[in-house]
């Protein structure tokens, strides 16, 4: 999916939900969106959403913006530099994207968005739909890239892949989102995070992309891992670990 197609879709989403989600969320929507335009690579690193610094980010930055992690001209800031370091020699095989596109530095703001615009007693949940539309776009991008290894760095985003999907008492699926199914892999030498292999898609109409009947990601290795800025040394993501996972994924 090229830059124009992604930008056009995000413009449509932002237009559809403009002034529908309440003042607090509208302030975030007014910052517009930032999106990756990733190339086809074997390794995909993912985060939750782009950050926004209310002090440092100028009014000029409140414009839709595209970036490509693998581009030599992409200026990597304090967030992206550690990712590049963790990838080591495999940085040339990797791309990065955020699953969501709104700009905010509160990793839990998605919870506020999910409840925004809802009216008690009515089924319509526009905030949740706003998030789902973004996740649907991301899934189509990831399916097109079809990476061999996905590193999910944000613990707040693991549920968006369908990792926490479960049935309620009525045997109805909840927390489906992208709706991938996983096989957990127990690997020696990995004592933190969770390594899984994608086995397919849930048979559920609750998936954000029910039009995707078969996934291109069957067999892809997914490493669910939390951003390690505050982790002890022995639990940090290292180039050696990335290389081990990449060899497993090949």
Map out the domains of the chain with their CATH numbers: 3-249 (3.40.470)
pLDDT at 58: 59
Nearest to 157 by CA among 29, 33, 45, 238: 45
Give the pLDDT confidence of 221-236 residue by residue, as tens digits.
Answer: 999 987 655 566 667 8
Confidence of residue 60 (pLDDT cuts 50, 70, 90): low
Whether 180 shows a pLDDT value over 90: the answer reads yes
Q: How far apart are CA 37 and CA 4, in angstroms?
A: 9
Contacts 24+ apart (CB under 8 A), 80-87: 82/229, 83/45, 83/153, 85/239, 86/236, 86/237, 86/238, 86/239, 86/242, 87/43, 87/45, 87/239, 87/242
Whether 204 shows a pLDDT value over 60: the answer reads yes
pLDDT at 227: 65
Q: For the whole model, what pTM was predicted?
A: 0.93
pLDDT at 61: 59
Give the pLDDT confidence of 131-159 residue by residue, as tens digits.
Answer: 999 999 999 999 999 999 999 998 889 99
> Cα 196 vs. chain centroid, distance in angstroms?
16
Residue 151 burial class via C-beta count within 10 angstroms: exposed 0-12, middle 13-18, buried 19 and up: buried
Q: How far apart are CA 229 and CA 249, in angstroms?
A: 26
Higher pLDDT, 183 or 171: 183
What's the mean per-residue pLDDT of the chain?
90
């Amino acid at each position: 999916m090229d830059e124009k197609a992604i930008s056009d879709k995000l413009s449509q989403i932002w237009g559809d939900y403009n002034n529908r989600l309440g003042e607090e969320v509208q302030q975030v929507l007014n910052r517009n969106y930032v999106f990756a335009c990733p190339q086809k690579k074997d390794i995909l690193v993912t985060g939750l959403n782009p950050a926004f610094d209310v002090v440092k980010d100028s009014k000029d930055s409140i414009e839709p913006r595209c970036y490509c992690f693998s581009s030599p001209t992409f200026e990597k800031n304090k967030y992206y530099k550690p990712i590049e370091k963790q990838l080591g020699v495999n940085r040339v095989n990797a791309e990065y994207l955020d699953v969501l596109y709104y700009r905010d530095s509160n990793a839990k703001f998605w919870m506020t968005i999910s409840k925004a615009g809802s009216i008690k007693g009515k089924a319509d949940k526009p905030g949740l739909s706003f998030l789902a539309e973004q996740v649907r776009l991301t899934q189509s991008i990831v399916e097109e890239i079809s990476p061999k290894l996905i590193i999910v760095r944000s613990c707040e985003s693991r549920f968006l892949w369908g990792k926490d999907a479960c049935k309620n008492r009525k045997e109805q699926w909840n927390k489906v989102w992208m709706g991938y199914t996983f096989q957990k892999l127990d690997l020696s030498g990995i004592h933190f995070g969770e390594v899984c292999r994608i086995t397919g898609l849930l048979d559920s109409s609750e998936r954000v992309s029910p039009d995707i009947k078969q996934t291109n990601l069957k067999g892809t290795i997914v490493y669910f891992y939390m951003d390690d800025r505050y982790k002890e040394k022995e639990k940090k993501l290292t180039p050696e670990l990335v290389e081990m996972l990449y060899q497993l994924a090949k």
